[in-house]
A and B are shown apart, each in its own frame.
Chain A
Amino acid sequence: MAKKLRKKYISSGPMPVPKWENVLVVGAGIAGLEAASQLLSLGYKVTLIDKASYAGGHVASWHKLFPDRTDASSVITGLLSSIAGATLLLSTEILSVHRLGEGFAVVLSGGETLYFKAILLATGFSLFPAEKKEEYGYGVYNQVITNSDLEQWFNEGNDPRINDRKISSVGFVHCVGSRDIKAGNPQCSKVCCITAVKQAIEIKQHFPDAEVWCFYMDLRLFGKKYEDFYISAQKDYGIHFIRGRVSEVSEAIDGEVIVKAEDTLNGRPVKIKLSLLVLMAGIISRNDIQPLAEDLSVMMDSDGFLLSRDNITGITRSQRPGIFYAGTCTGPKTIPESLAEARSAAIDIHNYLRGL
Chain B
Amino acid sequence: MIPFGFSLSPSSVTDLDKVDTRRYRELLRLEPGAATCIGCGSCSATCTSSAWTGMSVRKVILGLQRGRDVEVDAMLRGCMLCGKCTMVCPRGINTRNLILAAMRISKEDGK
A and B touch in the complex (CB under 8 A): yes
Q: Least Cβ distance of A325 to chain B in Å? A: 28
Q: Is A80 at the interface (CB under 8 A from chain B)?
A: no
CB-contact partner of B44 in A135, A180, A262, under 8 A: A262
Contacts of B45 in A (CB 8 A): 244-248, 260-262, 269-270
Alpha-carbon distance A180/B90, docked complex (angstroms): 4
Contacts of A269 in B (CB 8 A): 41, 44-45, 47, 50-51, 56
Contacts of B40 in A (CB 8 A): 217, 244-245, 262, 264
CB <8 Å contact, B89 and A262: no
* Known contacts A264-B39, A264-B40, A269-B50: A245-B58 contact under CB 8 Å: no
* Residue interface mask A219-254, B partner, CB < 8 A = 1: 000000000000000000000000111111000000
Q: Is A218 at the interface (CB under 8 A from chain B)?
A: yes
Q: Least Cβ distance of B78 to chain A in Å? A: 13
CB-contact partner of B46 in A175, A181, A217, A248, under 8 A: A248
CB-contact partner of A245 in B42, B50, B92, under 8 A: B42
* Known contacts A262-B58, A269-B50: A182-B89 contact under CB 8 Å: yes
Among A182, A248, A260, A269: residue with most chain B CB under 10 A: A269
* Known contacts A244-B41, A248-B45, A260-B45: A267-B59 contact under CB 8 Å: yes
Q: Least Cβ distance of A139 to chain B in Å? A: 18
Count residues of A near B (Cβ-Cβ below 8 Å).
23
Chain B residue with Cβ nearest A242? B41
Chain A residue with Cβ nearest B85? A247
Contacts of A135 in B (CB 8 A): 46, 87-88
CB <8 Å contact, B56 and A181: no
Alpha-carbon distance A260/B44, docked complex (angstroms): 10
Q: Is B91 at the interface (CB under 8 A from chain A)?
A: yes
CB-contact partner of B90 in A179, A244, A267, under 8 A: A179
Chain B residue with Cβ nearest A260? B45
* Residue interface mask B85-103, A partner, CB < 8 A = 1: 0011111100000000000
Alpha-carbon distance A278/B28, docked complex (angstroms): 36
Q: Is B38 at the interface (CB under 8 A from chain A)?
A: yes
Alpha-carbon distance A135/B85, docked complex (angstroms): 12
- Chain B residues 4 to 54 lying within 8 A of chain A, measured CB to CB, are 38-47, 50-51
Contacts of A182 in B (CB 8 A): 88-90, 92
Chain B residue with Cβ nearest A180? B90
CB <8 Å contact, A260 and B46: yes
* Known contacts A248-B46, A267-B59, A269-B51: A261-B90 contact under CB 8 Å: no
Q: Least Cβ distance of B33 to chain A in Å? A: 10
Q: Least Cβ distance of B62 to chain A in Å? A: 9
Q: Least Cβ distance of A185 to chain B in Å? A: 10
CB <8 Å contact, B58 and A264: yes
CB <8 Å contact, B90 and A264: no
Chain B residue with Cβ nearest A248? B46
Chain B residue with Cβ nearest A263? B41
Chain A residue with Cβ nearest B88? A247
Contacts of B59 in A (CB 8 A): 267
CB <8 Å contact, A175 and B44: no
Chain B residue with Cβ nearest A267? B59
Alpha-carbon distance A180/B91, docked complex (angstroms): 6
Contacts of B44 in A (CB 8 A): 262, 264, 269
What are some 25 contacts across the A-B interface (CB < 8 A)? A135-B87, A135-B88, A175-B90, A179-B90, A181-B90, A181-B91, A182-B89, A182-B90, A183-B90, A217-B40, A243-B41, A245-B41, A245-B90, A247-B42, A247-B43, A247-B88, A261-B45, A262-B44, A262-B45, A263-B41, A264-B44, A267-B56, A267-B59, A269-B45, A269-B47
The list of the 4 closest CB pairs from A to B, nearest first, reads A262-B41, A245-B40, A247-B46, A262-B44
| Interface residues, chain B, with chain A CB atoms under 8 Å away | 38-47, 50-51, 56, 58-59, 87-92
Known: A181-B92, A183-B90. 20 other contacts (CB 8 A): A135-B87, A181-B91, A182-B88, A218-B38, A244-B41, A244-B42, A245-B90, A247-B42, A247-B46, A248-B88, A260-B45, A260-B46, A261-B42, A262-B44, A262-B56, A263-B41, A267-B59, A269-B50, A269-B56, A270-B45
